[in-house]
């Protein structure tokens, strides 16, 4: 029995899938599936910031919430609403294993479908969101 031919474009969609996996590895992860002629993507993005103590973490929570809302809005706008509205969860401050401070995490989960035609718009929006999460983690920068 001859192997079934690969649908046209699936090689391209698999390449796009790998590209999104590399982006997501910056500050989270992505689950994806090729559903020809589109790629379904479910992202989880972590915005993490270190604080000296629990009280500082509680005080900075509103700023982290505002950051997450800005990232969510920009994801929708920059993707021309191809990204569905993200779900945002802000965790309570947690102590570091070393005991030398606490960390606070905003978790954004969002989904999209990508075709070969919508790829660039969605990629730009997702890349911007993950870069913002990296800036928050590395520099404590709430200005995205």
CA-CA distance, 106 to 42, in Å (whole number)?
A: 17
pLDDT tens per residue across span 62-104: 999 999 999 999 999 999 999 999 999 999 999 999 999 999 9
Class of the CATH domain delimited by 10-139: alpha beta
pLDDT tens per residue across span 27-48: 998 998 888 788 899 999 999 9
pTM summary value = 0.86
pLDDT tens per residue across span 129-138: 999 999 999 9
């Amino acid at each position: 029995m001859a192997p079934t031919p690969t649908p046209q474009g699936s090689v391209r969609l698999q390449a796009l899938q790998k590209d999104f996996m590399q982006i997501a590895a910056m500050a989270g992860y992505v689950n994806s599936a090729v559903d020809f002629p589109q790629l379904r993507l479910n992202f989880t993005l972590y915005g993490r910031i270190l604080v000296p103590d629990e009280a500082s973490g509680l005080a900075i929570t509103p700023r982290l919430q505002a950051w997450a809302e800005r990232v969510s809005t920009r994801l929708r706008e920059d993707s021309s609403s191809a990204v569905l509205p993200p779900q945002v969860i802000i965790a309570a401050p947690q102590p570091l294993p070393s005991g030398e401070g606490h960390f606070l995490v905003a978790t954004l989960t969002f989904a999209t479908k990508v075709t070969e035609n919508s790829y660039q718009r969605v990629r730009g929006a997702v890349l911007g969101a993950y870069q913002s999460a990296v800036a928050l983690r590395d520099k404590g920068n709430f200005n995205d």
